[in-house]
A and B are shown apart, each in its own frame.
Chain A
């Protein structure tokens, strides 16, 4: 077992465009096997924060660092699932194989990993189907399975179930909870309070690019400390 890249320490992360701070001084730590939900209204900077954490965007200032002494490209030990499933124009299993190849998994190990990913996601029967012919729910399930197949230390998800039917949402949530139970850290962005309640162990509440509140899910939902979080949970529109 290779050394995990977690804990991931985020310090004073800022991201500005034309002098406007879209992510403004966020600090937090992501520990192994945690399930963190990043909650907040649309436009709060949640997706940007996720891309900064994943290293897809370079911050204007601040750092995302591995405190475990692992060097090199941290992104190879992370995976990300986007709101809209992005699938290659290939078969279901070829999509998973591609990701494993891109991350440098030795050829000999791939078949077993593909098999495991397909069976976990309930997509074994669809393995030879062209990925684009799957339903939207199945497509997103495949992108989650593809991300999980690489056995990352941490997985980022950007509103993965935002436009899916309830059954698909449930299947994906189960996949995430199982992966988390196996020890994978998960950071999920959502603006669906119900989903945050179902899944989150830790909550990071973001408002206008700032960290408004952070804490254990049970205390966050029972006794939110900040005014914006209270208003948000009460269903008010916050600007």
Chain B
């Protein structure tokens, strides 16, 4: 109880005083995760939309694979990216290991299957409704995918949020490929892990409170934005 109280006090004072280190950590967390989610949305939504609409050999296997990859363990993704980017790895020459770019790559790999699998489901449901009308209008191929993605835009915001939740909350992948280097690759989750292992529970909890707060804030902002455009009535 005392710890919790202390944590909230500390969190409040850190935010109130505009602690520079904290701001840096939050800033890096946001920029890494948002960039990764953006990349994952571009790749995952096009991929999911295509799988949802196009009929090809091996489609059921692709769907199973996408769904299964939603549960990729972050540490495994971290390890894979580590091996790729390490000096001895195939992409070692770029010297990306222990940089924010490496963290973005890892989180993109982690989030893309989530976005793709959920988009596939959303687009396929919408396609069932639109199928005859769009065929009557002679819409097919990429035009079809584009139409469905645009018309599913409100549902896809939720998909992007699910991806963002995964990215901003994971610790395993960014820890391995980022290394939790102070002022360079330290993000909220790795900082929490470090402070906890140092026994600095109040600071760890304070960071946790802020992380949850940010998550609430992002979701709230989207809900308000979505509400304004009459999302619920459009679905």
Give the B-binding residues of A (Cβ under 8 A).
Answer: 54, 56, 73, 75-76, 79-80, 82, 86, 88-90, 98-99, 102-103, 130, 132-133
The reply to whether A56 and B136 form a contact with Cβ atoms under 8 Å apart is: yes
Alpha-carbon distance between A98 and B137 when the two chains are bound, in angstroms:
9
Alpha-carbon distance between A103 and B134 when the two chains are bound, in angstroms:
11
Interface residue from A54, A73, A90, A133 paired with B151 (Cβ < 8 Å): A90
Q: From residue A1, how far is it (CB to closest CB) to chain B in Å?
A: 21
New A-B contacts (15) at CB < 8 Å, excluding given A86-B129, A89-B153: A54-B136, A56-B132, A56-B135, A56-B136, A80-B132, A86-B132, A88-B130, A89-B234, A90-B151, A98-B147, A102-B134, A102-B137, A103-B137, A130-B234, A133-B230
Alpha-carbon distance between A130 and B152 when the two chains are bound, in angstroms:
14
Alpha-carbon distance between A103 and B143 when the two chains are bound, in angstroms:
12
Interface of B, secondary structure class, is helix
Alpha-carbon distance between A48 and B147 when the two chains are bound, in angstroms:
26
* 22 sample A-B contacts, Cβ–Cβ < 8 Å, listed by A number: A56-B132, A56-B135, A56-B136, A73-B138, A75-B138, A80-B132, A80-B136, A82-B132, A86-B129, A86-B130, A86-B133, A88-B130, A89-B152, A89-B153, A89-B154, A89-B234, A90-B151, A98-B137, A102-B134, A102-B143, A132-B233, A133-B233
Alpha-carbon distance between A73 and B234 when the two chains are bound, in angstroms:
33
Alpha-carbon distance between A103 and B139 when the two chains are bound, in angstroms:
8
The reply to whether B147 and A88 form a contact with Cβ atoms under 8 Å apart is: yes
Asked if A89 meets B151 with Cβ closer than 8 Å, knowing A80-B136, A102-B137, the reply is: yes
The reply to whether A102 and B234 form a contact with Cβ atoms under 8 Å apart is: no
Interface size class of B (residues with CB under 8 A): 10 to 19
The reply to whether A82 and B138 form a contact with Cβ atoms under 8 Å apart is: no
Residues of B within 8 A of A89 (CB): 151-154, 234
Interface flags, B186-199, vs A, CB<8A=1, else 0: 00000000000000
Residues of A within 8 A of B233 (CB): 130, 132-133
Alpha-carbon distance between A33 and B233 when the two chains are bound, in angstroms:
40
Q: From residue B155, how far is it (CB to closest CB) to chain A in Å?
A: 10
Alpha-carbon distance between A76 and B139 when the two chains are bound, in angstroms:
11
Residues of A within 8 A of B137 (CB): 98-99, 102-103
Closest to A85 in B: B133
Residues of B within 8 A of A73 (CB): 138
Most chain B CB within 10 A, of A56, A75, A82, A89, is at A89
Alpha-carbon distance between A56 and B138 when the two chains are bound, in angstroms:
10
Closest to B154 in A: A89
Residues of B within 8 A of A79 (CB): 136
Residues of A within 8 A of B138 (CB): 73, 75-76, 102-103
Pairs of residues from A and B, 3 with the lowest C-beta to C-beta distance, nearest first: A86-B133, A102-B137, A80-B136
Which chain B residues in 135-160 approach chain A with CB under 8 Å? 135-139, 143, 147, 151-154
Residues of A within 8 A of B143 (CB): 102
Q: From residue B206, how far is it (CB to closest CB) to chain A in Å?
A: 43
